[in-house]
Amino acid sequence: MILVVGATGSLGGRIVRGLLEQGQDVRVFVRHNSPSEQMAQQGLAHTVQSLIDAGAQPAWGDLKDKASIEAAVAGVDTVISTANAVKRGGEDTLATVDRQGTLNLIDAAKRAGVKRFLYASVQGASPEHPVPLFQHKAACEGALMDSGLTYTIVQPSIFMEIWIGLMVGIPLMMQQTITLIGQGDHAHNFMSEQDVADYFIAMIDNPAAFNQTVMLGGPASHTWTEIVEHVGGRMGVELPLQYAPPGSTIAYLPEEANSMATMMEMYEDHLDIAEASATYGVRPTTLDEYIDRTFVQR
């Protein structure tokens, strides 16, 4: 039995569906008050019922409720956690969910005798990182490595679906000018969320991933200016584009995304993912492939 925590999220749902297609027994840790119903209408989540209908077994609970976690991990061989509170609110915070909730899950998995634990982290996770999410991820990575569980820590690069959707997709839908920070000239490695899901599935029984921290990425790095040009080129139009000074607030972005947009113009990242691709049999999605299936009308 495989338990997926964060199953209604975009990444978690992809993992659940991929496992079910393989004929795996999957349990999903879900909440009765999950906001996934509303988010699914925007393509940002999977509804609980859709996962149940696909064949998943529900385990109702909350990462802030230790008793429900213990019930969920009972009889489980593998735990996959992609849970995060970035899109939540109220009592669901980075501190209560991403940090303490995950620490609760690791502890419960250890006591239940879980054999494998796969955890979705972030590249650059560090206790000294200025962004709290990266600090919390680092704490959970450390706890998992010290737990005695056979672990895999997955550190994916920037998700095309999320960030290109935010920076380019939202202003296109709102018929607004696309705004980039600085000159949009710092290159970053973007990867498809579906590729991340495929890596998770391939890693479950692959010894190469046991007790490893694996950095994942896409086939190439691109600047934001290049991405806008690619989207416009594939659509056959010239997209309206403007630039704003670092630290500016882009009105159509969520609050937490604005600080990240500025931070992206302070560094670059280039990854060689040939070895990971070959080891786990995942062919990376190119930028143009993502653009064609997302922005180009068929």
Domain residue ranges of the chain, discontinuous segments joined by +? 2-156, 158-191+218-269+285-298
pLDDT in tens, the chain (298 residues): 999 999 988 899 999 999 999 999 999 999 876 554 544 444 555 788 889 999 999 999 988 899 999 999 999 999 999 987 665 556 677 778 888 889 999 999 999 999 999 999 988 888 888 778 888 999 999 999 999 999 999 999 999 998 999 999 999 999 999 999 999 999 999 999 999 999 999 999 999 999 999 999 999 999 999 999 999 999 999 999 999 999 899 988 877 788 888 888 988 889 889 999 999 999 999 999 999 999 986 5
DSSP 256-267: HHHHHHHHHTT-
Q: Which residues contact 79 (CB under 8 A, 6 or more apart)?
A: 2, 3, 5, 73, 105, 109, 114, 116, 117, 118
**Would you state the pLDDT for residue 41?**
45
CA 292/CA 298 separation, integer angstroms: 9
Give the tokens for residue 187.
């290159």
In angstroms, the Cα distances linking 197 to 120, 180, 240, 241 are 10, 29, 33, 32
Rounded-to-integer distance, Cα 231 and Cα 125, Å: 30
Instruction: Give me the architecture of the 2-156 domain, per CATH.
Output: 3-Layer(aba) Sandwich (3.40)
Tokens of 138: 């680092």
Torsion of CA 21, 75, 146, 133, to 10 degrees: 50
Query: Could you tell me which CATH number the domain at 158-191+218-269+285-298 has?
Result: 3.90.25.10
Concatenating the DSSP letter of every residue in 64-110 gives T-HHHHHHHHTT-SEEEE----TT--TT--IIIIIIIIHHHHHHHHH
